[in-house]
Amino acid sequence: MNELRGKRVAIIVTDGFEQIEMTSPREALEKAGAKCVLVAPRDGEVQGFKHHDKADTFKVEMTLAQANAKDFDALMLPGGVINADAIRIDKKAQQFAQEIDRSGKPIAVICHGPWLLVSAGLVNERHITSWPTLRDDLECAGARWEDKECIRDRNWVSSRKPDDLPAFNREMVSCFAEAKGTASEKNVATEVRV
C-alpha cells in the first residue's frame, strides 16, 4: 500500500486533542505511504486526551509559525473539544487551512475539528458531518450538516467520532490519493519555471 508515497500531510493539534482521532488516521496515512507532520502552535509536546482524561504526550514536529501550506499535500484535523476550541482562534491555523483549501488540496476532519474550518470561513455551501453539538455552528456558517458516519464533499472528508474512524480512514486515504502530484514535485516545478 503505497498510494500516498511522497505525500506530506499536516496534522494540526494543540493540547486536549482526542488522541485516537490523531493516532488512528496518522497510522492509516503512514501505512499508505504518507509522511505525517504533527504541527502545533508552540514547540515541545502536546497533550492527548481520551475523552476527559489526559492520555499521552506527543512531540511537536513543526510549529504553525514554521509551517507553510505549500510544503504539504493535505491537512488532517483531529477533534477533542479543548483542542478544537483553542485551535479555531489561532490566526496561523486559520491561514494554513485557508491556503490548503484555496489550493484545492484535501482536508480530512473529525469530531470537533470543523470548528477551525468555521472560524476560517471555509464551510459555506459544504456538505459536512461532525460531533452533533457542532451542527448549529456549521449550519449558521452556511454548511449542509448531516448526522452520518462519513461524508465526502469534493476534496473534504468528515466524520463524527472515534467509532467512525474505520470509515473515515478509508475515505481519507482514498481522497488524499486522488490529489494529483505532491507538494515537493509542485515546488520543484515552480522553481524550474522561475
List residues with catalytic annotation: 111-112
Strand-pairing partners, residue 119, are none
Residue 168's nearest CA partner among 87, 79, 100, 101 is 79
Q: Could you report how far apart the first and last alpha carbons of the chain are, in Å? A: 35
Alpha-carbon gap, residue 7 to 67, rounded angstroms: 15
Place of cell 514554521: 66
d(CA 160, CA 155): 17
Q: What strands lie across the sheet with 45-50, from one edge to the other?
A: 17-18, 45-50, 53-59
Collapsed DSSP state (helix, strand, coil) of residue 95: helix
Neighbours of 177 (CB within 10 A): 18
Cell (9 digits) for 118: 468555521
